[in-house]
Amino acid sequence: MPILRKILAAAAPLALLAVSACTQPFEAKVSRFQALPVPEGQTFTIEATDPRNQGGLEFAQYAGLVSQRLAAYGYRPAEGGKPELVVRFDYGVDKGTPKVVSRPAPGPAFGPWGYGGFGPYGRRWGYGSAFYYGWDPFFYDPWYRDIDTYTIYTSHADMTIERVADGKRLFEGKAKARSLDDSLPRLVPNLVEAMFTNFPGNSGEEVKITVAPPDKKK
């Protein structure tokens, strides 16, 4: 029995992390500053903030998501001619920061509560979502003997909107999140969704946005 418990204790974290990456909501912290006029079909074009991304296929895919969201709010993609607004978009993810994770060693503390329960000292163990923002869900506890290390990545999406006629800045927004995943094709669409939730938002307000996981039935 002790051997079986040790196998389960080692396998459970990996299983939970694999499942959580697909089923847990995405949480981002979004800050926006805006002086946008009421949408009246103003035309726009989207450019990469980083010139190295301009013209790239990856940037084009993310720009398409931004374009769709702006169109849903009443703006129009410029089709020839000079646009009224220039939207600049940037994105990225860092190289990650190692985090120490403690998990319960086999023994009486594992007991009737099972994995992820409360131990005899009121502590709770378990592993967080693949997407999380805010307090670090991983902690170190000297009472536990089994230690693992994981990497936490911080991703971001930045967007500005300027009026072409006079160069006035009308919108500045940033969405950022922490995750166990550094895949931009999965992170950026979620960051865009968070950026446009209740767009354009209250100027100067920083809010926490939760994006629901995709519906597998669709």
Q: pLDDT tens-digit profile of 143-159?
A: 545 777 889 999 999 99
Q: How far apart are CA 13 and CA 99, in angstroms?
A: 14
Q: Give backbone dihedrals phi and psi of 62, rounded to 5 degrees, phi first.
A: -70, -35
Using CA atoms, how far residue 55 sits from 44, 47, 49, 163, 177, in Å, is: 17, 9, 12, 22, 26
**Contact yes or no for 93/154 (Cβ under 8 A):** yes
- Residue-range domain boundaries for the chain: 2-23+96-151, 30-93+153-203
- pTM of the predicted structure, to 2 decimals: 0.72
Q: What is the pLDDT of residue 26?
A: 93
pLDDT: which is higher, 13 or 131 = 131
Angle (deg, nearest 10), helices 57-72 and 184-195: 20
What gap in Å lies between CA 183 and CA 198, rounded to an integer?
25
pLDDT digits (tens, 9 = 90+) for 60-96: 999 999 999 999 999 999 988 899 999 999 999 999 9
Domain 30-93+153-203 has CATH 3.30.160.670: yes
**Cα Rg for the chain, rounded, in angstroms?**
22
Q: Cα(19)–Cα(133) distance, rounded to whole angstroms?
A: 18
Lowest-confidence region among 2-6, 37-41, 62-66, 161-165: 2-6
Structural contact between residues 29 and 198, judged by C-beta atoms closer than 8 angstroms: no
The two structure tokens encoding residue 181: 């995943």
Nearest to 49, CA basis, from 208, 158, 207: 158
